[in-house]
Amino acid sequence: MNPKNNLLIGAIIAVVVVMSYDVGVDPIAFVDGLPNLGIVLKEMTEFESEHWGIAFWAMLETIEMAFIGTLAGVMISLPLSIFAARNISSKYVYVPLRALLAATRTFPSILWAILFVIMVGLGPFAGILAITLYTIGFISKLQYESIEAIDYDPVEATTAIGLSKIQLIRYVIIPESAPHLLSQILYMFDYNVRQTSILGIVGAGGIGFYIINYIKFFEYGKAAVFMLVVLIAVLAIDWISVKIRDRYIMKAQHGQQVKVKTN
């Protein structure tokens, strides 16, 4: 290794130490606190069975919110991404539009949820609006980037045939940029389920509402079980999206073969 790298690594470690001191990182508190985990685990075993039903319905609501928000966001993103693509749209449209989309991505969805709770009141609708907005910011960006990355070859060839701009978008741009869309939607849904799980903390619906309330009333066992439900749901959704991706997306890619796992 060259000395320059060593110096750099040393400098980074020094910075981390200084920062840790500044924010009060305390390893001793961590070790001292470990037995508290045991208390939580013990309380978890005292979880009453009728709560499973509540946890299930709360998780279902969370998933529904994420699903609606994701789909609504995607629907709105599709036309927006065309207006935001540099290779199709005019500068006077894409520059402000991109700035707006960047702004929606600046805040995590929980901050948008606070705004929508103020606007439309407590409950899942505010959460759905927050998820929709965040999805618009994200999917539009992914989508305009894949529109900008499409092969120029069919665009040139169909221009030479004399297609209008609308025909070009409909018959070349959309089909050429769509294969990534399904994978982006799956990824976004996955992400949105996790986001929606905490929106209840600010009163925007979903399972997070229960978790924050149990924590407030020191019912850590119940809170932990509800978190466990979130974990199981997220893992399940993750697993399902991997299956869908393998089945539909790998095959959809240009001439690529589906890789078969051998283990």
Partner 1 sequence: MKKNTSIATLSIIQMRDVSASYDSQNFVLKNVSMNVKRGTNYAIVGASGSGKTTLLKLMNGMMIPSSGVVLYNYQKPDLKNKEYKKSIAKIGYISQTLGLVKNSSVLDNVLIGALPRLNAVKSFLKMFPKDEIDTAHEVLNLVGLDTKSNRKVHMLSGGEKRRVAIARALMQKPDILLADEIVSELDSVTAREVMDVIKDAQRKFKLTAIMIHHDMNLALEYANRVAVIKDGDKVLEIGVDGEQIIDFQTGDLTQEEIMEMYNEPKK
In angstroms, give the least distance from the CB of 170 to partner 1: 6
Q: With beta carbons less than 8 A apart as the criterion, state whether 109 and 169 touch.
A: no
Which one-letter DSSP state was computed for residue 178? T
Task: Using the structure block, give the residue that is written with the tokens 């505010």.
Answer: 126
Give the C-alpha separation, 2 to 254, whole Å: 43
In angstroms, give the least distance from the CB of 145 to partner 1: 17
In angstroms, give the least distance from the CB of 144 to partner 1: 18
What residue type is 172 in one-letter code?
V
Which one-letter DSSP state was computed for residue 89? S
Nearer to partner 1, 34 or 166 (CB): 166
Burial of 245 (0-12, 13-18, 19+ CB in 10 A): middle
The interaxial angle of helices 208-216 and 50-84, nearest 10 deg, is: 130
In angstroms, give the least distance from the CB of 250 to partner 1: 13
User: Binding to partner 1 by residue 250, rule CB under 8 A?
Assistant: no
Residues in contact with partner 1, counted by CB under 8 A, come to a total of 25
Q: With beta carbons less than 8 A apart as the criterion, state whether 135 and 118 touch.
A: no
Nearer to partner 1, 123 or 179 (CB): 179
Nearer to partner 1, 3 or 255 (CB): 255
Nearer to partner 1, 170 or 247 (CB): 170
Nearer to partner 1, 144 or 191 (CB): 144
What residue type is 242 in one-letter code?
V
Residue in 28, 30, 255, 259 binding partner 1, rule: CB under 8 A = 255
In angstroms, give the least distance from the CB of 140 to partner 1: 21
Q: With beta carbons less than 8 A apart as the criterion, state whether 210 and 58 touch.
A: yes
Segment interacting with partner 1 (CB under 8 A) among 55-63, 90-98, 115-123, 247-255: 247-255
User: Dmax of the chain from CA atoms?
Assistant: 74
Give the C-alpha separation, 27 to 25, whole Å: 7
Q: Which residues contact 80 (CB under 8 A, 6 or more apart)?
A: 97, 101, 136, 140
Nearer to partner 1, 32 or 151 (CB): 151
Q: In the structure encoding, which two tokens stand for residue 258, read together?
A: 């589906």
In angstroms, give the least distance from the CB of 177 to partner 1: 9
Give the C-alpha separation, 61 to 199, whole Å: 12
What residue type is 6 in one-letter code?
N
Nearer to partner 1, 36 or 159 (CB): 159
User: Binding to partner 1 by residue 254, rule CB under 8 A?
Assistant: yes
Residue in 102, 119, 252, 258 binding partner 1, rule: CB under 8 A = 252
In angstroms, give the least distance from the CB of 153 to partner 1: 5
Window 125 to 184, contacts with partner 1 (CB under 8 A): 151, 153-164, 166-167, 170-172, 175-176, 178-179
Q: Which residues bind partner 1 (CB under 8 A)?
A: 151, 153-164, 166-167, 170-172, 175-176, 178-179, 252, 254-255
